[in-house]
Every structure is written in structure tokens, then in C-alpha cells.
Amino acid sequence: MVIKKFQVPIDIWSDKKIPKEAKYIYSYIYSKAYNKYLVDINIGEIQQVVKIKNKGLRKCLELLNDLKYLVFNEYAIGNYSVTLN
């Protein structure tokens, strides 16, 4: 996948509560969901961008979910359905 242009909201980069890994994960999801609001990801895709395990990915997604950046659902182990807000 070639990332052409990031148009990630600037708020997320200046937010000190969000760790750097979660910001990279959100950027990847945002670029993959280009012109869509619902996207499916798995841990294998994310591990190409950030060195993270499934437990860490779930923790980052829960944090972004609590901060109202996205909504996610784990439908199988390591597979997630993500809706951007």
C-alpha cells in the first residue's frame, strides 16, 4: 500500500494523552480508509507499520475509542472492523 497524502486531523498529533504508536496506527487506518468510513484491518498489516502485538493494538484502539476518534469491533482474534468518527 502506498500512502500518498496524510490528512489526519491535527488534534491527534498535539494530544499528549495519546502515545506515538497509537498516532501511527490511527494514521494508517485513516489512510487506508481513504474516502470510506468503515475499514477492516488485521494485526499483520499493522505490524508492518509499528512493532506491536495484538494486546497492544487492542489497547491503542480502546484509547482512541475512548477519545472518540474511532469505533472498533474485534470480530476474530487479530481482525478488527474500524469506523472513523
pLDDT in tens, 24-77: 998 888 888 877 788 999 999 999 989 999 999 999 999 999 999 899 999 999
Q: Which pTM value belongs to this model?
A: 0.83
Nearest to 46 by CA among 80, 6, 75, 13: 80
Mode of pairing for the β-strands spanning 79-84 and 70-76:
antiparallel
pLDDT in tens, 60-73: 999 999 999 899 99
CATH code: domain of residue 38? 1.10.10
Does residue 1 lie in a domain region? no
Counted domains in the chain: 1
Nearest to 81 by CA among 26, 47, 73, 45: 73
Query: Counting beta carbons within 10 angstroms of the beta carbon of residue 83, is it exposed (0 to 12), middle (13 to 18) or buried (19 or more)?
Result: middle
